[in-house]
Amino acid sequence: MRYCKKCTMPDTRPGITFDAEGVCSACRHYESRKNVDWDARFKEFEAYCDKYRGMNGPGGYDCAVAVSGGKDSHFQVWMLKEVMHMNPILFSVEDNFPMTQAGIHNLKNISEEFGCTIISCKPNIKVQKILMRKFFEKYGKPTWYVDRLIYTFPLHMAAKFNTPMLCYGENVSFEYGGNADKETYSAMGQIENGVAVGMPMEELLGDGVTENDLSLTLAPSAEERAKLDPFYMSYFVPWNSYKNYQIAKAHGFHDLTHEWDRTHHAENFDQIDSRAYLVHSWLKYPKFGHAAATDYTARYIRYGMMTREEAILQMNLLEHTFFAFRDEDNDGAFAVVYKRTDGGYGLIEDVA
Ligand SMILES: [Zn+2]
């Protein structure tokens, strides 16, 4: 297993590539943003909005946002409604698990703060239970059914509401190292290259699941998709998870402070709405050799908010409860850094 020389992301992350200098594709993409003319991109964004603004007549929705209620959703809705003066309708997919207090507050807040209607999908619980178990046991992907709906439901709804301009946040494959190497505003290809690619129907049927249960998990027809023009906001404006969090907080977004100190996480503001959903991120460690803390420390390094050394310490402390090493500053003595139950760190050193 190799680690990126800049951000410490391992090469076991799906889709990531390393160059001759041992630097990952996500770091190289982030660096290449310096060469982007963001003023020109913003003008492109204005032209794109101008094309659709008011398209369904006075009072009609003219764009849509796929929202979770999270920090990025807040940022996207703020940008479209308050900066670009569009009239967005919001589409959300719930996961049927108990929500955190912050998650309940945030979904309500995004509607109240920006004055938006949310059309929410509560997936078929019977099918969710059957498919969660099957996909957990077979692929280690318990949340496939909900993940898939997060991709497909907004497309179906955008077709029904005649809002071709459907907003997604970031191009995950491009920003964090994946298969997408050429950047484009269009999110049309997302459904085929995302984390929840379609499964053959025979994989889904059986155990009580019938074709009637699955129509929303299918991609809309080619004819319907041809009418849509979905986009990634991260193409038009510089995307930064931490800055989005700051803007969201200024508009009433709640993080997990005072509610829950999550293990294996370097932040308390990403994917915070549901506890059970975190099984997905916990499974990254056995599958890919890194957990959610590495995703964030890698971003913090790219944003210039953390050094590589600080990140390694955090990763090791967050992704394990203790970390044994040879202390080079102490003649190679054996030492253990461990996490105290009060949240601090302890160090036990052997006498060299
Ligand atoms: Zn990297």
Predicted confidence at residue 136, as pLDDT, reads 85
Those residues with Cβ within 8 angstroms of residue 118's Cβ, 6 or more apart along the chain or in another chain:
67, 90, 91, 92, 107, 110, 111
User: How far does the centroid of ligand 1 lie from the alpha carbon of residue 341, in Å?
Assistant: 31
User: How far does the centroid of ligand 1 lie from the alpha carbon of residue 32, in Å?
Assistant: 13
User: How far does the centroid of ligand 1 lie from the alpha carbon of residue 176, in Å?
Assistant: 9
User: How far does the centroid of ligand 1 lie from the alpha carbon of residue 68, in Å?
Assistant: 27
Output DSSP code: residue 179. S
User: Per residue in 271-297, pLDDT tens?
Assistant: 878 777 677 777 777 777 777 788 888
Predicted confidence at residue 72, as pLDDT, reads 94
User: How far does the centroid of ligand 1 lie from the alpha carbon of residue 25, in Å?
Assistant: 7
Task: Using alpha carbons only, give the angle 205, 211, 213 rounded to the nearest 5 degrees.
Answer: 95
Average pLDDT, the chain: 85
Identify whether the C-beta of residue 195 lies closer than 8 Å to the C-beta of residue 151: no
User: How far does the centroid of ligand 1 lie from the alpha carbon of residue 232, in Å?
Assistant: 22
Those residues with Cβ within 8 angstroms of residue 193's Cβ, 6 or more apart along the chain or in another chain:
173, 178, 179, 180
Higher pLDDT, 327 or 106: 106
Max CA-CA distance within the chain?
77
* 198 closest CA partner among 129, 125, 131, 149: 149
Q: How confident is the model at residue 161 (pLDDT cuts 50, 70, 90)?
A: very high
Is residue 118 over pLDDT 80? yes
User: How far does the centroid of ligand 1 lie from the alpha carbon of residue 28, in Å?
Assistant: 7
User: How far does the centroid of ligand 1 lie from the alpha carbon of residue 177, in Å?
Assistant: 9
User: How far does the centroid of ligand 1 lie from the alpha carbon of residue 280, in Å?
Assistant: 22
User: How far does the centroid of ligand 1 lie from the alpha carbon of residue 23, in Å?
Assistant: 5
Highest mean pLDDT among 28-37, 148-157, 287-296: 148-157
User: How far does the centroid of ligand 1 lie from the alpha carbon of residue 6, in Å?
Assistant: 5
Q: How confident is the model at residue 10 (pLDDT cuts 50, 70, 90)?
A: confident
User: How far does the centroid of ligand 1 lie from the alpha carbon of residue 243, in Å?
Assistant: 20
Q: Please name the amino acid found at residue 265.
A: H
Q: Give strand pairing partners of 67.
A: 92
Q: What is the DSSP string of 276-321?
A: GGGHHHHTHHHHHS--HHHHHHHHHHHTTSS-HHHHHHHHHHHHSS
User: How far does the centroid of ligand 1 lie from the alpha carbon of residue 346, in Å?
Assistant: 29
Is residue 172 over pLDDT 60? yes
User: How far does the centroid of ligand 1 lie from the alpha carbon of residue 26, in Å?
Assistant: 6
User: How far does the centroid of ligand 1 lie from the alpha carbon of residue 301, in Å?
Assistant: 9
Predicted confidence at residue 202, as pLDDT, reads 85
User: How far does the centroid of ligand 1 lie from the alpha carbon of residue 95, in Å?
Assistant: 31
User: How far does the centroid of ligand 1 lie from the alpha carbon of residue 142, in Å?
Assistant: 28
User: How far does the centroid of ligand 1 lie from the alpha carbon of residue 329, in Å?
Assistant: 27
User: How far does the centroid of ligand 1 lie from the alpha carbon of residue 312, in Å?
Assistant: 13
User: How far does the centroid of ligand 1 lie from the alpha carbon of residue 13, in Å?
Assistant: 11
Task: Using alpha carbons only, give the angle 147, 153, 157 rounded to the nearest 5 degrees.
Answer: 165
Q: How far is CA 32 from CA 28, 40, 176, 201, 207, in A?
A: 6, 16, 13, 40, 48
* 338 closest CA partner among 346, 330, 327: 346
User: How far does the centroid of ligand 1 lie from the alpha carbon of residue 272, in Å?
Assistant: 25
